[in-house]
Structure 1
Amino acid sequence: MAEPFKNLIDAAAVQAIAAHVQRGWRGFDAAGFRAQALAGLDGLELKARVMQVAQALVAHLPADADRACGILEASLGPPGEGDDLGSLRTSNAGLAGWPVWPLTEAVALLAVDAAPERGLAALQAMTQRLTAEFAIRPFFVRQPAVTFATVGGWLAHPSAHVRRLVSEGSRPRLPWGLRLQALVADPSPTLPWLQQLQDDASAYVRRSVANHLNDIAKDHPALVADWLAIHLPGAGAERSALLRHASRGLVKAGDAAVLAAWGLGAAFRGRVELALSPAALAVGEALTLTLDMQSTARTPQRLAIDYAVHHVKAGGHTTPKVFKGWVLDLAPGEARQLVKRHAIKPITTRRYHPGAHVVDVRINGQVLAEAGFDLRV
């Protein structure tokens, strides 16, 4: 079994933080910091661990935000190069990788009100050793003017990690992050940033732009449909891949304008039948979907085929969850069989309940076949 993420912030990480902060400031009470940071740490989940260590840092650093940020910056190791920060590790040269996360949150606690410009400068440095995408969000909420002005100046920064922070840190609905409700309501302030970054040389940056646009699509689907209409025609392979990823939620939702932009707007002409096996299964097992299709068209058909599992909820009603299936070209008169294995496995964001479940198949946004299975829990 994989090591739980929460163990990335453990006693060893706390010890490394203590050692490198003390290296930059001899007056640092490393023992006091460790005692506060480690108290009950093993019983906490990841984000709670991060915040406990951050609060312990704040308690043992100077109250002056400028001085505290300078001490934290002095504890950092060399910045990462290229797109990949996954190989960065704390070393004798300084902190890098997961131990940097509590440092970013400490900066937010110390500087968001007292010295926002200084705090943003520290986050710019720290994001090159891990990421500051979570810690920068309070700055957007509480200091929007200085934050938008500062972050907008990072668009041409030589580090891909800083350029990515422009997009990732301002995502309206970043998972695990503070929701930026003002940008949920009106995403227009970040659109010029996304337009500039969508053709960035770094795949890491472009992936963030795609996810940012997908966030926007959840609240403003027409805006993303318009974005495709403007930016998809004549797009090269890299921008096309970005836009496809950005519009994945709207494709799965059967948005007519977005399907049409990808040449997937026409209704399927033909016959389709869905079979599920086994007819009954338990959580932890897998369901096999078999889809038999027969085209009756005289011309090729471009098809986006997704499926939705209608999960039974605690009250007995059902809600659909759409999953990605296939995108394919079906020749005139062609018959084809498609098979997919769908695991019914426990995940933290879904609780399974027993009962009759339905699976439907959606072709170019239209539900054209369905079948059922019984789930035992």
Structure 2
Amino acid sequence: MSNPNTQALSDAGVSIWLDDLSRERISSGTLKALIDEMNVVGVTTNPSIFASALQDGRSYEAQVNQLAADGADVDTAVFAITTADVAEACDLFSGLATDTDGVDGRVSIEVDPRLARDTRGTVAEAKHLHKAVGRTNAFIKIPATTEGLEAITETLAAGISVNVTLIFSLQRYREVINAFMLGLEQAKENGKDLASLHSVASFFVSRVDSEIDKRLDAVGTEEATALKGKAGVANAQLAYQIYEEQFATERWQVLAASGARPQRPLWASTGVKNPDYPDTLYVTELVANNVVNTMPEKTLEAVADHGKIEGDRVTGSYREANKVLDQIAKVGISYNEVVELLEDEGLEKFVTSWQQLRETVQTALDQAPGARKA
């Protein structure tokens, strides 16, 4: 029996994905329980999640011991461990993927973020990951940097489904949609089946509030304080407006006639950072048809416990959302400066997390009984 709150969210057109994965979660049945009981229909991963899983679980010992005995270096081991987890999760979700014709039942794996400013390196790594996971319901995550845009196009053109991550700005989102459509146009020229290509565009929410709230506090006026906690939702609402506009264009209609499916907006970073805000804020206020909301387990549990799903909270909100961003600009906060900073910081955090994952795996390799001694 599904939880009534998560069922209501699903009925409103929101696909619930879990922002977490570990081998222990798969083998213990806890991920299957979330599928059965909380309407979870997909999973996203990142280096921090994998590092935490390796530190906290014993499920990796056999593979780590074998990798150590084989003399695998740390990058080879990271690749082997993460692709194995994603492949196993893809198998768990395969029924959902079949039932939804590939729309859901998705598991994302991230390209090494150290390649985020390297178009050629990102494309090569995306192809490598795609081949290693070997599952049609895998998504390859590529950051929406300027260099990443071309990589997104080339990866889609090669027939590989993409989760575009780390989107903060409305202008960058427009560029992401263009890169997506260009990728499909090239895929069509390459003879690929457009109906088999899927994509989501991951628009980050809570980090926008965290940065803008800090600046509103620095302004310190009553007008500025009244705007706290509004920017993240408003920004996402306006992103959905762009989605509606761009996927009603003649350009898109031509692709759709060839079987193409729209790139769905995905709300990421939906765990509330400020404890003064409702812990379901970035879920209940961003309900709209044909979107994904990827939640950490704590947020998912809060929604299941007390989330009030009141239907579509996005379409029809655009005038008010624009007003919020205009008022933020009027108190002296630069939207462009904020989103540029957030992208740079986001990439830095991704790289730091990746290095932590490498260090965790290196430690595990060094401590393995089968490790080759120098």
Q: TM-score, normalised by structure 2?
A: 0.34
Higher strand share: 1
Higher helix share: 2
Larger radius of gyration: 1
Structure with the bigger RCO (C-alpha within 8 Å, sep 6+) is: 2
